Amino acid sequence: MVSMPSIASFKYLPILLLAATPALAQSAPATYGIGRAPTAAELAASSITIHPDGTGLPKGSGTAAIGAKVFVDAGCEACHGVKGAGGVTSAPALLAAKGPEASPWDRGVMAVKAPYATIMWSFINRAMPFGNEGSLKPDEVYALSAYLLAVNKVIPEDMVINQDNLAKVKMPMNREPATVAGPNNWVRVPEWQPGQPRFKGYPG
């Protein structure tokens, strides 16, 4: 608190008023200096974002064989069914009914449809298992990722998945160049501009 002038300092009141006047007319500063800087530890811990190129992935590794065990132990199977075949609850199937000859759009599951394997890693890490989210250790998430990629025949059964090779997994969805429409591709999101209509060609 700013201490108020005492009665004895009443003679300074006009000066105080003059000093206060410019404050009332003050224009907005470039920044307000509100808030605090995070510590290095806070900053490192806060982001759970995984970039499509693998930036943000913690160190760790896992195989499909380990993942098969985690899939049961962590409770994934209870909701997603044996090998992720679905049909147990409203949780989606994680094992595609159709094989690699089909388009990833028709195979549907995340291990096939995600353009980057990092998307699945990030999803498991932040949102699974349901009811105990965020509890899996990085090695378990790598193992589950390897398991789901292997059962869907995206990677070989014995491949070790880690922070360096996860983003390099060649996903079934990303087989054509970004600008080419194809059965194994997704449409890149266009740039948004203010005043841009949602549809072109709608009459007024």
Partner 1 sequence: MGSLPTSRRDLLAGGAVAVGAVAVGSLVTPAVAATTQNYALNNSPMIASPEDLIAYGQRSKYVKSFRIHEAGRPEATLARYRDFGLTLHINAPLQDFLGTVAPSSTHYFATTKGALLPDIDPKEHTLTIQGLVDKPLILTLDDLKRFPSVSRFHFIECAANSHTAAHKTVQESHGNTSNAEWTGVLLSTLLKEAGVKANAKWFIAEGAEEIKGADSIPLNKGMLDTFVAYGMNGEPVRPHNGYPLRLIVPGFEGIFNTKWLRRIEVTENYMLNMDDYGHLRRDPAAAALGYQIGVKSVITGPSGSQKLPGKGWYEIRGLAWSGQGKVTKVEVSTDAGKTWQVAELKGAQNPQAHNAFGLMWNWDGEEALIMSRAYDDVGQRQQTSREAAKSLGATYAAGYNPPGNRNTIMAWKVAKDGAVTNGLDALNSIV
Instruction: Note whether 131 binds partner 1 by CB under 8 A.
Output: yes
Instruction: Note whether 115 binds partner 1 by CB under 8 A.
Output: yes
149's tokens: 């990629």
Among 31, 41, 87, 99, binds partner 1 (CB under 8 A): 31
**Residue 6 vs residues 9, 18, 130, 172: alpha-carbon distances, Å:** 5, 18, 63, 78
**Stretch of 18-26, 40-48, 59-67, 143-151 contacting partner 1, by CB under 8 A:** 40-48
Are 75 and 59 within 8 A, CB to CB?
no
Are 104 and 184 within 8 A, CB to CB?
yes
Instruction: Note whether 87 binds partner 1 by CB under 8 A.
Output: no
Distance of CA 79 to the CA centre of its chain: 22
Q: How far apart are CA 17 and CA 177, in angstroms?
A: 68
In eight-state DSSP terms, residue 15 is H
Among 5, 38, 100, 156, binds partner 1 (CB under 8 A): 38
User: Toward partner 1, which CB reaches closer, 52 or 58?
Assistant: 52
Instruction: Note whether 26 binds partner 1 by CB under 8 A.
Output: no
Instruction: Note whether 89 binds partner 1 by CB under 8 A.
Output: yes
CA torsion 161-165-168-173 (nearest 10°) is 10
Residue with tokens 């195989």: 63
**Residue 173 vs residues 19, 96, 110, 121, 159: alpha-carbon distances, Å:** 66, 14, 10, 16, 20
Among 126, 139, 160, 163, binds partner 1 (CB under 8 A): 126
Distance of CA 70 to the CA centre of its chain: 22
Which of the residues 140 through 179 are near partner 1 (CB under 8 A)? none
Instruction: Note whether 116 binds partner 1 by CB under 8 A.
Output: yes
Contacts of residue 90, Cβ cutoff 8 Å, sequence gap at least 6: none
**Stretch of 60-68, 115-123, 148-156, 163-171 contacting partner 1, by CB under 8 A:** 115-123
User: Toward partner 1, which CB reaches closer, 11 or 188?
Assistant: 188
Among 122, 145, 152, 162, binds partner 1 (CB under 8 A): 122
Interface residues toward partner 1, by CB under 8 A? 28, 30-32, 34-38, 42-43, 46-49, 51-52, 79, 89-92, 105, 110, 113-116, 118-119, 122-123, 126-127, 130-131, 133-134, 181, 186-204
